[in-house]
Amino acid sequence: MCCDVLESSPKELAEYYEKLLNISDELDGKRRSNGCSSTHNPDGTAIIRTSVPPENVLKHVEYEEPPKGIEAETLTDVMRRLHSLTAAEMRTLLKQVHQSGQGTKKQLRARLRRYYRKEFSMYRMLHDGDCVPRFGNKTARHFDYLVAIDFECTCVEVIYDYPHEIIEFPAVLIDVRQMRIVDTFRTFVRPEKNPTLDPFCIQLTGISQEMVDSAPVFKDAYRLFRDWMTQHNLGDSGYRYAFVTDGPHDLWKFFQFQCILSNFGTVPHDCRHFINIKRIFEQRVMKLVKGNGQSGIQNMLAHYNLSFEGQKHCGLDDSINIARLCIKLMQDKIELRINQRMTQRQDRNEDRRLEELAKSDKADASDYHIWHRKLPLKLRQVTRDEFLSEEYLDCDSCDELDE
């Protein structure tokens, strides 16, 4: 029929067009009788409007471009700086992904964390172990560098609640991919609460009164440490890193208490979670035996037929030996991950641990009980699931004011 119409004369086409108009008018009449109305555009085409109750009419909504995938650089930058973002920055980021920007600073951060954590997990699944064999160096999937720390503090003999002050601040930088030590940091620190060292402390640590008298106070020493980290691009927007200690006391006990003494106001966020290498060793390698006259570091080294290098109770030497252990564990394909953190919430597992500790080691239990009650931020374990999902970064220990 289409071919016939195309081959028809002008007169036949006009008649055909007239028939179409008549059919259109008949259809309009039927629609009007069924509750519909029809008008025509200037070109003669029909516009059909159905009589619909106002409450059933949908409001006109402007087309909104769906959120595009977040660039990897932005994604990693937000996850690294999550706890330092201002309210205005968080509202801007939420607006970009069509999320509400209403609420307090705490609510904004929680909303941003939920959205970006999901995106970040997907990104890590797709890019897991970039340039790293899947079954090779597992630690390199999470971190570029590890920072081994072992403080030395003021002390006297057998006083559990003595107000320890940090007098040696060492750090050893480990390149995770290359599995080697690349740099060290060290500064002595002048104590302010008890500026005169006890003879027991001098003999134990080898740190003389002259060394601390000429040293900076803790606030200045900490600033020097942060400057050293910045030189290696370790910060909010730099390489991924984690602190490593031999046990929980260096950061949870000594560093936290020093922050209180030095009026820091709060423990820096990246210092609130760390890798307790002794805990990983006991879970993945073997239980350590106490009472053999050797330190935990020496016992761990002995398992690998390694001897302790340097002087015991020298903070820098202890940190170097912790770094050697980190490298050995990574070479054995053991994953080094965040396994402890500080929080205001009480951990029931820690309560049970305290009970077990009290039965096994009276001295350690007394010390631990005292500091567990005294310090505002409690020690909490981090499971592997909490680590991989980055739930451990949820700052329920944050004392910043909401905005």
Q: Which residues are catalytic?
A: 152, 313
Residue 24 neighbours by CB under 8 Å, 6+ apart:
46
Neighbours of 22 (CB within 10 A): 9
Q: How far apart are the C-alpha atoms of 135 and 132, rounded to whole Å?
A: 8
DSSP string, 153-210: E---TT-TT----EEEEEEEEEETTTTEEEEEEEEE---SSS-SPPHHHHHHH---HH
Q: How far apart are the C-alpha atoms of 367 and 45, rounded to whole Å?
A: 90
Enter the tokens of residue 114. 């939920």
Q: How far apart are the C-alpha atoms of 180 and 176, rounded to whole Å?
A: 7
Dihedral class, residue 35 (left if φ above 0, else alpha if ψ from -120 to 50, else beta) = left
Q: Which of 311, 320, 363 is nearest to 203 (CA)?
A: 311
CA 154 to chain centre: 32
Give me the sign of the Cα torsion angle 312, 315, 320, 326: positive
Looking at residue 276, what DSSP letter applies? E
Q: What are residue 171's DSSP bridge partners?
A: 185
Q: Which of 400, 292, 269, 284 is nearest to 342 (CA)?
A: 269
